[in-house]
Homo-oligomer: A and B are copies of this chain.
Amino acid sequence: MPQQTMYEGPNGNNDESQMKTLSKTRRPAPPREQQRLDPTEREAIIAREAVSFFAEHGFEGQTRELARRLGITQPLLYRYFPSKEALIERVYQEVFVGRWNPSWEKIITDRSVPLKARLGRFYREYAQVILTYEWIRLFMFAGLKNLGLNARYLKMLRERAFEKVIEEIRFEYGRPSTGDLPITVLEIEMVWGLHAAIFYLGVRQFIYSMPLETDVDSIIDAKVATFLGGVRTVLPAKTSP
């Protein structure tokens, strides 16, 4: 006797008219989804869907609706994550830690490439990661909830990227290293300004739902150029004659 469920799955899989091709043909990639999954795979699927789900509904989104989207029952979530909060923590890891690319730091400091090209490439690649529906909204939800997450992330961003950018600009213009002359408030504020411009593109798209009229890369190139020009004019005077 078939089980009765109240809802129609997203693919209408309850329909039994489709052929049963479950017959353990040891195919390497069966296109039909299994009913029982390997725990590590199930966990990954839940985590991936949770990213999408919480990005859409915020962290107040209900576990039952997440389960429905996954095609599983709600208690199953608690087999893989001890609490909703633990699942959210996993989402943070997935997005804010997992999507950071360590090679970005090399791009910035690779002096065999002209500075403007380096910055352009870094900010374009960085923008490609954070200018997504999931990244932008989750970052904002996390900020409004306010655990230290955002400040912590931005502290890392400052150390791994912003300070390196400033060091490279100093070098390019023959100024003292940031090791000798500390980074000024003005310098870091200009980097914030560039960051703000990029980040705000994501806010407009994914939080205000206002489609952009231009492609992101050209905006970034323009901003980087303006930034380089601007930072040069306000740099503190040389200390060495």
Contacts and interface: CB of A to CB of B under 8 A. Distances in A.
Interface of A: 58, 60, 137, 140-141, 143-144, 146, 148, 150-151, 154, 185-186, 188-189, 192-193, 195-197, 199-200, 203-204, 207-210, 213-214, 219, 222-223, 226, 230, 234
B137 A144 contact: yes
B151 A209 contact: yes
A146 B60 CA distance: 15
Contacts of A209: 146, 148, 150-151
A204 B192 CA distance: 10
28 contacts: A58-B58, A60-B60, A137-B144, A140-B140, A140-B207, A143-B208, A144-B144, A144-B207, A148-B209, A150-B207, A151-B208, A151-B210, A154-B210, A185-B213, A186-B214, A188-B213, A189-B214, A189-B222, A192-B200, A193-B197, A193-B200, A193-B223, A195-B200, A196-B196, A196-B197, A196-B203, A197-B197, A226-B226
B146 A140 contact: no
A216 to B, nearest CB: 11
Contacts of A196: 196-197, 199-200, 203
Nearest to A207: B143
A222 B60 CA distance: 40
A4 B230 CA distance: 65
A65 B207 CA distance: 27
Contacts of A148: 209
Given A196-B200, A234-B222, A58 B144 contact: yes
Contacts of A203: 143, 196
A230 B193 CA distance: 14
A203 B154 CA distance: 12
A208 B154 contact: yes
A222 B209 CA distance: 30
A144 B58 CA distance: 8
A210 B200 CA distance: 17
A97 to B, nearest CB: 17
